[in-house]
Chains A and B, each alone.
Chain A
């Protein structure tokens, strides 16, 4: 695409930085404090950003670099920081993610952690220290998320005799999605290890007393058992094998890895439920048949509203891929699939789900920002946009309605409780899309129809 203006700077980014994803993932481990090795600002900005979506306290510690640390290395700050966090939060796990600062000065974090363990052996229980390398000048928040998941498995998983247990790596999905996934596994009557699990830590109840660390999350002991599972299911299809926790367990402990795109839409969920049936030898519970039946019925009831609608979808690559598969089922071929991520796999993976992507005129672009997307929108003239709250600026400017999903949602209420996955999540998404169309039509009509 030729730009109206030459464009080197990123304008209104369609991505966040690497350490943010790591902090969120670490928040999904039980009794874990996320810890950023860098300047104070990184932790504060990321906390503020996560709060705007999740509306939950999220304590992220920082090693608080100052000039001396930048010159002489951050080793001292990291050690003092770990000690203070251990004293104040009494965590079982500290999830340490690096920043551009500590990565650029070349701090050898694994070595510092080894030294720390030696120096502070003082009788107190030593928290498990997990280190994820997340320089902000590489990739985006989703890479940090996967890096933290991978690092956690690598640090904790051990070999054991095979158990009837399934590992689930759900990707960066909502707390509501996580709760639903757990419900599915429970209904299959199979033991599971889902990591991360911030369904409670990022969407929990009120507190009668202050919790240093909110209750919930995947216990470290459960992650340790992931090496003896029957299988791993990993949602997402743009993750390189060396960064995949499921592939790590496959290679090291022979736990077979199954990669599925995020299960959105009927076909995606049929695949997911069939896989669960195969792995567990159990039939899905009747309630999921019901959910599926209701969804098929809803597709029929609503099909005329949505058929051939023109949309632009943006967000993390895996979310975009899952959504394209769903939209295709209801007669929507997105004009543009866009992501700030740059795996190099976005088009390929969409083609696997929608083979006639070129004939349908679906445009796929990686590594874009919202000014790129807006320029496309001006030409493509979509009926609506689908993605997170960051698209609101261009939505308002160009008068294109925005259907909000994913992360972050900071201009609507309840983003953390929104479902995207499963038949249930698809149902919610479908209802919202249909309602957006109906609302648009109703508003555009001068008659004021009450039955739409």
Chain B
């Protein structure tokens, strides 16, 4: 096999777990190396992901056409009502706009779009070029908000001004402008906001149902199946429950500081973490033992049907090896546990945006010999997949062809998925998808398995 090298300057972002050795921390939280084919995106991407599911707002991308074109209806975030989020709006800046400024075009576009679509709010994303030509989008937004009477929120997401994480923060900042502007009357004391849940394939509905069954009021989901009016009253909740910690922890911290709302981190993937996310919420309301009772009841009922149905998959998958490369590190923790519950071990675990604590915890959780990577690229991923003999890769659309080229199974655990993987039912779907991909007879023809080339 051709020797695949690790780029100089990348070595510190990769480590292989060895027991009995003190190992230096993995390097992370850095910007991508020039010339590497990072699987990361940019600041704009981070903002767009977080705000995308807000379905009754228009999302106008201020810049040349690409940024809007590539994000048109790409995500699996579904809405129970309006679907403005599935449209793509761009100021489509041209050379003359770059020279003379795009403020006027932005203003006219906004006025027209608001008139046409009657949204509850508008998010204006600035792209790289806006950061250079110096359009005062704050001023335009203020003016349009005044004239139309709806919130018009600038999102400072110039692609080059940081990493995807900075984009998350810019999106959270825009949400903070809305939170606190709605009435909190009639909100129960036993209430939460679900943060960092984007309702991919209806996942937020599944989670919401569990909490409601426990007797908890869900004030707002940020941002899955999102509505501006619900965001406005989010400050009325008693607790923030944060999933996808990478994107929403900043918002949770801001809300804690400003409104005194505590937050907990949860994950809805896998039996263990899903159950824990119900118990952890119940623990926050100790004066209501019935909430904990209800949580236990839900878990017991769900597991009773789920567990037997998983055994067929476990039998087939025991001993198979998985590689995980996803956006946030928090998800990898749940995935490792979920994979173990169906008999699979993890030989590679990595993320685009994990931090030091994430990686320390990851190392603790992983088996010996597991490779841990931060901000990896296709060459590295392929190298480790082949070296470690993985049977499955879990990632997003950009990782999918790597798996299939190398002749191994794949599970899409990113924003484009069309099958809910969260909740108890999601664990079943996950196991089924992994089983169907890993056990497919098509791999017998893969060169890796000695199939003819």
Contact = CB atoms under 8 A, between A and B. Distances in A.
Interface of A: 5-13, 15-20, 35, 38-49, 51-52, 55-67, 69-70, 77-78, 80-85, 87-89, 99-101, 104-105, 135-138, 140, 205-212, 390, 393
A61 B35 contact: yes
B143 interface: no
Contact of B37 (A51, A52, A60, A100): A60
Interface stretch (B94-102, B168-176, B230-238, B427-435): B94-102
A89 B2 CA distance: 12
A32 to B, nearest CB: 14
A39 B159 contact: yes
A207 B453 CA distance: 8
A272 to B, nearest CB: 32
A103 to B, nearest CB: 9
A64 B453 contact: no
A57 B410 CA distance: 14
Nearest to A207: B405
A8 B35 contact: no
Contacts of A61: 35-37
B73 A393 contact: yes
Contact of B397 (A5, A48, A80, A84): A48
A19 B159 CA distance: 16
B112 A13 contact: no
A9 B109 contact: yes
Contact of B35 (A46, A52, A80, A136): A80
B9 to A, nearest CB: 8
B397 A52 contact: yes
B129 A104 contact: yes
A41 B42 contact: yes
Contacts of B448: 208
A88 B398 contact: no
29 contacts: A5-B116, A7-B112, A9-B90, A10-B91, A11-B88, A13-B68, A39-B159, A42-B66, A42-B159, A44-B42, A46-B66, A48-B70, A48-B397, A51-B401, A55-B401, A62-B34, A64-B33, A64-B34, A66-B161, A67-B161, A70-B131, A84-B7, A85-B35, A100-B98, A135-B64, A136-B65, A208-B453, A210-B2, A210-B379
A353 B319 CA distance: 63
Given A61-B37, A87-B5, A212 B91 contact: no
A87 B7 contact: yes
Interface residues of B, number: 85
Please name the 3 residue pairs, one residue from A and one from B, whose CB atoms are nearest each other, closest first: A41-B42, A17-B66, A208-B447
Interface of B: 1-2, 4-5, 7-9, 31-45, 60, 63-74, 86-95, 97-98, 105, 108-109, 112-113, 115-116, 127-129, 131-133, 159-162, 377-379, 382-383, 386, 397-398, 400-402, 404-407, 445-448, 451, 453
Nearest to B382: A210
Contacts of B43: 41
A67 B41 CA distance: 16
Report which residue of A62, A104, A136 has the largest number of chain B beta carbons within 10 angstroms of its beta carbon. A136
Contacts of B398: 44, 47-48, 51
B159 A17 contact: no
A101 B159 contact: yes
A77 B42 CA distance: 16
B37 A15 contact: no
Contact of B38 (A17, A44, A52, A100): A44
B87 A11 contact: yes
Nearest to B115: A5
A51 B400 contact: yes
Contacts of A49: 70
Nearest to A214: B405
A210 B383 contact: yes
A280 B377 CA distance: 47
B133 A78 contact: no
Given A48-B398, A65-B160, A66-B162, A9 B66 contact: no
B418 to A, nearest CB: 11
B427 to A, nearest CB: 27
A46 B86 CA distance: 19
Given A18-B66, A84-B34, A87-B8, 15 more contacts: A8-B108, A17-B70, A35-B35, A45-B70, A45-B71, A48-B70, A51-B400, A56-B405, A57-B378, A65-B159, A88-B7, A100-B64, A137-B95, A212-B379, A393-B86
A35 B38 CA distance: 12
Contacts of B41: 40-41, 44-45
Contact of A136 (B32, B64, B88, B453): B64
A61 B378 CA distance: 11
Contacts of A12: 72, 87-88
Nearest to A204: B405
B57 to A, nearest CB: 15
Contact of B94 (A52, A67, A138): A138
B35 A81 contact: yes
Given A45-B67, A393-B73, A101 B132 contact: yes
